[in-house]
């Protein structure tokens, strides 16, 4: 069955909607969670609101434009662009509406069910991003190291299966994480962040959290390190081919790998800042810096990717210009 990008995106949205219904559960242990990383900004909250709103509109417009361009043009129904389509869909699953409400609000609290929904959204976003970037590195490895066999090794069916598998696996993983966390007996309701995250909730538990910690460590060491090894292996092989290949091969490798490498580095910085905030005591760090680091994790990748790929890839750039010209002219 030859699945096109539109069908894959529709399947992803259906899985996401179905899973949101599963995790809409009520925790009776606390009536609400308090987000204490906000501070009283006075009249400046309207300025911050406009800044975040502008970022949100830029993210939505840029990613939707590229999704529409890839889905509407059959010439872009190639593995690289289909993986990009999945990446752009993932970057629309942010928490910006919630952040906008919290910026204007004077009471920064959230219900348990909505808190776990935020955890679901953030973790799906982070996991799908990393998995997709790892698969894209493998795709670039096949395209550069095995150009003659690329079309037989990376077919449309294989791409559809990979994309759907990534989303389904990440959703199931987050459902397991939330199922372990929602049953914990909590001795507090204060979260030192601007949105809910899983590990801060685990730290609020009154009793043993060994199961949660073991599951998290196993997942981290087996899958995340496995993805990192895959990415490193792919680029070592690519560098080896570039070193021994012709000038044309090196130019092709640079043009196709530069956006991916830049995206990977940018996302790595965002994840590092987020892990530091979740795992360590940040009470001595200025509140403004903590908010900035959280916004960096949520905004930089969704803004960076469409700009990087849209500007770097000439084919995608020209089709975007054509679509904008047809709409507004």
Q: Measure Cα distances from 92 to 136, 142, 278, 302, 307 in Å.
A: 19, 28, 23, 8, 15
**Mean pLDDT calculated for residue range 202-229:** 84
pLDDT tens across 277-296, in order?
Answer: 777 776 677 777 777 777 78
Indicate the range of 73-87, 227-241, 280-294 predicted with least confidence. Answer: 280-294
The closest of 124, 110, 114, 112 to 175, measured between CA atoms, is 124
Q: Give the chain's mean pLDDT.
A: 80
Q: Is the pLDDT of residue 77 over 70?
A: yes
Phi then psi dihedrals of residue 253, to 5 deg: -65, -45
The winner for highest mean pLDDT among 95-109, 155-169, 262-276 is: 155-169
Taken in order 268, 276, 62, 10, is the CA torsion positive or negative?
Answer: positive
Q: Any residues with CB less than 8 A from the CB of 122 and at least 6 apart, and which?
A: 95, 195, 196, 197, 298
The winner for highest mean pLDDT among 23-27, 159-163, 190-194, 270-274 is: 159-163
- Is residue 193 within 8 A of residue 35, CB to CB? The reply is yes
Looking at per-residue pLDDT, the higher value among 83 and 294 belongs to 83
* pTM: predicted TM-score of the whole model, two decimal places: 0.84
Q: Is the pLDDT of residue 237 over 60?
A: yes
Q: Give the per-residue SS3 of 74-135.
A: HHHCCHHHHHHHHHHHHCCCCCHHHHHHHHHCCCCEECHHHHHHHHHHHHHHHHHHHHHHHH
CA distance 20 to 16: 6
User: What six digits make up the tokens of 201?
Assistant: 């909730």
Look at residue 328 in the predicted model and tell me its pLDDT. 60
Question: Could you tell me how many helices (H) and strands (E) the chain has, helices first?
Answer: 13, 3
Structural domains in the chain, CATH included, are 9-328 (1.20.1070.10)
CA distance 123 to 129: 10
Looking at per-residue pLDDT, the higher value among 259 and 94 belongs to 259
Q: Is the pLDDT of residue 34 over 80?
A: yes
Q: Any residues with CB less than 8 A from the CB of 296 and at least 6 apart, and which?
A: 269, 270, 273
Q: Measure Cα distances from 204 to 74, 199, 284 in Å.
A: 51, 9, 19
Q: Is the pLDDT of residue 233 over 50?
A: yes
Q: Is the pLDDT of residue 314 over 50?
A: yes
To the nearest whole percent, how much of the chain has pLDDT over 90?
5
To the nearest whole percent, how much of the chain has pLDDT over 70?
82
pLDDT tens across 85-120, in order?
Answer: 899 999 887 677 888 888 888 788 888 888 888 889
Phi then psi dihedrals of residue 2, to 5 deg: -90, 95
């Amino acid at each position: 069955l030859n699945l096109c990008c539109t069908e894959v995106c529709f399947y992803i949205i259906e899985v996401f909607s179905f899973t949101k219904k599963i995790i809409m559960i009520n925790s009776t242990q606390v009536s609400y969670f308090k987000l204490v990383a906000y501070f009283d900004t006075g009249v400046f909250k309207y300025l911050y609101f406009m800044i975040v709103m502008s970022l949100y509109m830029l993210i939505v417009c840029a990613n939707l434009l590229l999704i529409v361009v890839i889905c509407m043009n059959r010439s872009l129904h190639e593995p690289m662009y289909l993986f990009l389509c999945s990446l752009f869909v993932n970057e629309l699953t942010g928490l910006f509406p919630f952040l906008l409400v919290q910026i204007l609000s004077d009471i920064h609290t959230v219900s348990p069910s909505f808190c776990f929904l935020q955890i679901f959204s953030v973790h799906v976003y982070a996991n799908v991003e990393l998995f997709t970037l790892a698969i894209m590195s493998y795709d670039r490895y096949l395209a550069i190291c095995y150009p003659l066999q690329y079309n037989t090794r990376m077919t449309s069916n294989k791409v559809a299966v990979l994309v759907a598998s990534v989303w389904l696996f990440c959703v199931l993983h987050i459902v397991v994480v939330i199922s372990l966390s929602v049953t914990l007996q909590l001795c507090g309701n204060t979260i030192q962040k601007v949105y809910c995250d899983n590990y801060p909730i685990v730290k609020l538990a009154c009793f043993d959290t060994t199961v949660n910690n073991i599951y998290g460590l196993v997942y981290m060491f087996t899958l995340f390190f496995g993805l990192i090894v895959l990415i490193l292996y792919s680029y070592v092989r690519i560098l080896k081919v570039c070193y021994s290949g012709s000038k044309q091969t090196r130019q092709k490798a640079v043009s196709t790998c530069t956006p991916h490498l830049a995206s990977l580095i940018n996302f790595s910085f965002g994840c590092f800042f987020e892990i530091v905030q979740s795992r360590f005591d940040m009470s001595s760090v200025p509140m403004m810096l903590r908010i900035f680091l959280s916004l960096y994790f949520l905004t930089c990748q969704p803004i960076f990717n469409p700009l990087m790929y849209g500007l770097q890839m000439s084919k995608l750039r020209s089709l975007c210009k054509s679509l904008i010209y047809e709409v507004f002219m």
